[in-house]
Amino acid sequence: MKTNSTMSKITNKIFKERRNRLLNMVSDGIFILPGMHSTKRNNDVDYEFRQNSSFWYFSGFEEPDAVMILDSKSKNQYTMFVNPYDPDMAIWVGARSGIKGIEKNFCADKGTSIEKLKEKLFEITEQHECIYYAFGDDPIIDPLITEILIERRMSSERRNKNPIQIKDPNPLINEMRLIKTKEEINLIQTAVDITEKGFLKAMEATQDGKNEFEIQAILEYEFRINGAKRNGYPSIVASGKNTCTLHYIENDSILKNSELLLIDAGAEFNYYTADITRTWPINGVFTKAQRAIYEIVLEAQKKSIEIIKPGIPISSVHQKALEIIIQGLIDLKILKDTKKNVIENKEYIKYFMHGTSHWLGLDVHDVGNYNQNNKSTLLKPGMTFTVEPGIYFGENIKNISTKYKNIGIRIEDNILVTNSGHKILSNNIPKEIVDIEKILK
């Protein structure tokens, strides 16, 4: 059954609750949050537009060149600066919301033309002693904020006012985004379920002689017909030696019988993304060497997921996976020292060089601190993240048996921290060897 892309959308009520919650975090201040601009690809063609995640998080507005003002003191707490409706432009790019539309359809207290941004910013900020704005977010607003800062400093003494402060809003926003609501969890689950359909079709289509981009097309076709109009990130469809390149996206090599295929991909559904990795043999059966490495990675992944529950530091997930991978490589005599020495000397890095987890949500590497007060962040219910250990025998590995050459294996699932432990959102995507080989046959 196809997923209805209109289902599970975040409502205007929820966007308003988010804005109010952000404003309630400060006693005085004005938040200036810019949206994304259209970017030229070439001549009169733009890159596909995708709204800035935090801007969308508070507005649900998907048009370019908008700026949101959240004002803790004004009766118009939510002002949106947008492009006015232009009937001539509508012929080319479709109708835009305009000033009336932003008030009617997106519940802005006041809609204003983006052309008046500079004038109005000076007026609005006059009432505050603190501006929450992240420098570097927008090349147009950065100089405006600098002008305001200089003007207030120069005039503060004669007006008997304090100089204005500039604070980064991202720590407050990131704290909000890190804990997912039930609506967000449903959207991530839907993205994962759509991704599952793509992976199953990709497994069934895997065959010697096909090109990686053929498999990519089959995978992403399933994403589209099931309601995901875009990916959360460029799909990695890597065979043979390409499995050892972590962010390989060329996807243009020919699949060969004796090699592995690694796919790292995620559908994005209503702005929330999945992030799944599976690795399988192109001819349908793991070789002895491939199986040995796969079993180590799978055990590392399963054991590190088992410990996930509220109150444990997120770093312990990586530590558990790392210990199992090191012991597995020692047992295969690939690493030839004690576990303690391997860890101290970081001898494992050439085989396992990346972290095991990252936050997941509106962005594939979602916002949120991994450390707080010099300690690893403790897991809380509502956090969503990946668990993705891997082992790679790329061209940088010397003096290794040829049977391991060009083997790259990563297994990645999406995890929700619950009140009592955890839930594997992607549990239905096969990863046991027996299940994978059954599908491929």
Active-site annotation, residues: 44, 247, 264, 275, 354, 358, 365, 388, 392, 410, 412
Tokens 């991704």 identify what position?
Answer: 195
DSSP string, 237-304: EEEGGGGGSTT-----PBP-TTSEEEEEE-EEETTEE--EEEEEETTSS--HHHHHHHHHHHHHHHHH
The 3-state DSSP class for residue 338 equals: coil
Pairing of strands 375-376, 371-372: antiparallel
Contact between 275 and 236 under an 8 Å Cβ cutoff? The reply is no
- Whether the CB-CB separation of 311 and 418 falls below 8 Å is answered with no
Total Cβ atoms within 10 A of residue 214 = 18
**Which amino acid appears at position 182 of this protein?**
K
What is residue 408's three-state secondary structure?
strand
- Give CA angle at 316 (313, 319), nearest 5°: 155
161 touches 107 (CB < 8 A): no
* 3-state class (DSSP) for residue 154: helix
Q: Is 157 exposed, middle or buried (0-12, 13-18, 19+ CB in 10 A)?
A: exposed
Q: How is residue 239 written in tokens?
A: 């065979």
Residue 382 phi/psi, 5° resolution? 100, -10
Report the number of secondary-structure helices (H) and strands (E) in the chain. Answer: 13, 21
The phi-psi region of residue 77 (left if phi > 0; otherwise alpha if psi is between -120 and 50; otherwise beta) is alpha
Q: Rounded to an integer, what distance in angstroms lies between the CA atom of residue 188 and that of residue 384?
A: 9
Cβ distance 191 to 267 under 8 Å?
A: yes
